[in-house]
Amino acid sequence: MIKILSYNINGIRAAIRKGFIEWLEDCNPDIICLQETKANIDQFDQSVFKKLGYNDYWFSAEKKGYSGVGILTKLKPNKIHYGVGIDYMDREGRNLMLDFDNFSVMSLYLPSGTNIDRLGFKFKYMDDFFSLVNEIRKSKKNLIIAGDYNICHEAIDIHDPIRNAKVSGFLPEERQWLDRFLKSGFTDTFRYLNKDPHQYSWWSYRANSRANNKGWRIDYLLSSENLNKHIKKSYIMNDVHHSDHCPIGVNIEL
């Protein structure tokens, strides 16, 4: 059984100060994909992960204190892909992929469109990423894309779908893109086994949103459909508090 987590930690240095290392040791995933690390590798101590038995890989943005992704894994990868080879994407440190013997895992931090100047950037990224993944899947049949997609898929995935209908993250165009992405051959591993409402992975820091569970489910572990029969458990760890997001997980038997 392989335990894979995804977690937007909203700053690796801040998360470490809040007990992330101790939680990681206790939780003990085989692989954890991190987003929004907000640090270059010379700004924090990676040896703490090695002491826990992890191989650690990081892909930072050119802009300091911004974006960035990482993957910690107890399974040694065969190949590491830093970025995707598209300059405007890679400058922001949003994609990191590891190839293992019979599957690949990508950590993705899809842009937010909450700033109107960035909404066009987000849509371009989404379109180019869709095309890119279609190419990747020609050679990688077992692909898991873990990360912060900054999109709620359905009304069940957001606390107030009516009032948020014109807010980036729940725009019709964004939801349609995620729908097409899933229908192209991916499974939302959480919804594959869990149909209950009020299951969220991000809460605003404002208005006591987390305590009142006024959240959004914008973090996903999407897997190639042919892995469906191997999905044994999927979950949201909403009692973990190092970030405005919480970890999500899937246990896969390969």
Q: What pLDDT sits at residue 148?
A: 98
Q: What pLDDT sits at residue 114?
A: 84
The CATH architecture one would assign to domain 2-252 is: 4-Layer Sandwich (3.60)
The mean per-residue pLDDT over the stretch 158-162 comes to 97
Span 181-194, pLDDT tens digits: 999 999 999 999 99
Span 116-137, pLDDT tens digits: 789 999 999 999 999 999 999 9
Give the whole-angstrom CA distance, residue 246 versus residue 184. Answer: 27
Span 191-202, pLDDT tens digits: 999 999 999 999
Give the whole-angstrom CA distance, residue 165 versus residue 9. Answer: 26
Q: What pLDDT sits at residue 122?
A: 97
Q: What pLDDT sits at residue 97?
A: 98
A 10 A CB-CB count for 50 gives 12
The answer on pLDDT for 163 being more than 80 is yes
Q: What pLDDT sits at residue 218?
A: 98
163 burial type by CB count under 10 A (0-12 exposed, 13-18 middle, 19+ buried): exposed
Look over the chain and give the mean of its residue pLDDT values, rounded to a whole number.
97
- The residues annotated with a catalytic role in the active site are 148
Which of 98, 199, 194, 201 is CA-nearest to residue 148?
201
Which of 143, 145, 138 is CA-nearest to residue 110?
145
The answer on pLDDT for 109 being more than 90 is yes
Span 18-72, pLDDT tens digits: 999 999 999 999 999 999 999 999 999 999 999 999 999 999 999 999 999 999 9
Give percent above pLDDT 90 in the chain: 98
What are the tokens at 144? 């898991």
pTM for this entry: 0.98
Q: What pLDDT sits at residue 153?
A: 98
